[in-house]
Each structure stands twice: as structure tokens, then as C-alpha cells.
Amino acid sequence: MAFILGSGSPRRLELIRQLGIEPDAVRPPDVDETPLKGEQPRPYCARVTRAKVEAVEARAEDVVLCADTTVALGRRIMGKPEDAGQAAEFLMALSGRRHRVITAVAVRKGDQILTTEVVSQVKMKRLSDEELNAYLLSNDWQGKAGGYAIQGPAGAFIPWISGSFTGIVGLPLAETANLLRAVGLRILQQEAAE
């Protein structure tokens, strides 16, 4: 049995290693992440994650893990900004407000697909023009849902969360560990208990 991480995210690779797992292969799938017309954030995130896990080539005995994280402000899906202008738009919309960070996880082994979604609440402080401009110049917003990453410089903008910190980063570890155990993958905590 091989373990395949279906993500090119360095954050997800780092998080999965915290479970004592080293992927045998990293195969990010090429999946269209465009939201469907009228699609709500949580079903969107679940749909994209399932599409990702189904798109990764693997043998029947292999375990494939995929995830997707989206930032939701009400019904609005805030994906990865295309440029600094869109990042500024996202950050100004989030400034001084609470929003949701949704991470869906899917694990596939053969025909079996197990999924979960973890929803966390996040409050971003009201950003000054100086803070916003300095953050945009850092380019840390690139490739990040909602235009920020809590584990980077933008962590200084987040005074409060409710939910899973690792889910906000991009892979909720407790829930991911449960899915991996359910398909027979041994993880660090399991081995330590034996």
C-alpha cells in the first residue's frame, strides 16, 4: 500500500508529516476549481475535494488524500486571488469581520471514499491602509484562499478563531487522522499507543 498526497501545498505536506507520515508520492490533480453558479461555500469545497481525490491516479490498494480550503464571507466564496488587486479586495471585505474557513478532506482507497468538512470561524482585525499595503507587498497572499494564511504574517491580523487551527492552515489533523485510520493507514499516534 502506498500513501499518495494529492496536493502540491507545502503546508499540507508539512501538516501530514506531523502525523508521522511521509507520502510515497505527491500528485496534485488538475481539477477545475471554478464555483458553479449559485453554489454555496461548503458544498463547493466538498465537491472540489471529491473531484480531486477521484482524479489522482492510484492502484486499488493505495491510499489517496486530497483536501481543499476555501474562505467564505456569508455566501461568498473567496478562493485564491488572481492578483494583488483581488487580494486587496478580499482582505478589505474580511477586515474587521468574522468569516468561515472551510476545509474538506477526502481519503480514497480502491472504490471507498471517506470525506469530512471542518468549518472554523475566524475574526480578522480592522486593517489599516499601512497594514494592508505592507502585507500585499510581502506577496504572502499568493496561492492562499481569501488572500491570507493564518500561519504567516497575516496571523498578526487574526485575534480570534473558533474551530481547528490546522483546518484553517489547510488540513484538520484530528479529522484527517481518523479518516486515514479508517482505511487502515498507520499513523504516529496509533503506533505509539501499541
Residues with catalytic roles: 68
Strand partners, 98: 123
Beta bridge partners of 121: 100, 162
Relative to beta strand 3-5, strand 25-26 is: parallel
| Vertex 162: Cα angle to 160 and 166 (nearest 5) | 100
Burial of 56 (0-12, 13-18, 19+ CB in 10 A): buried
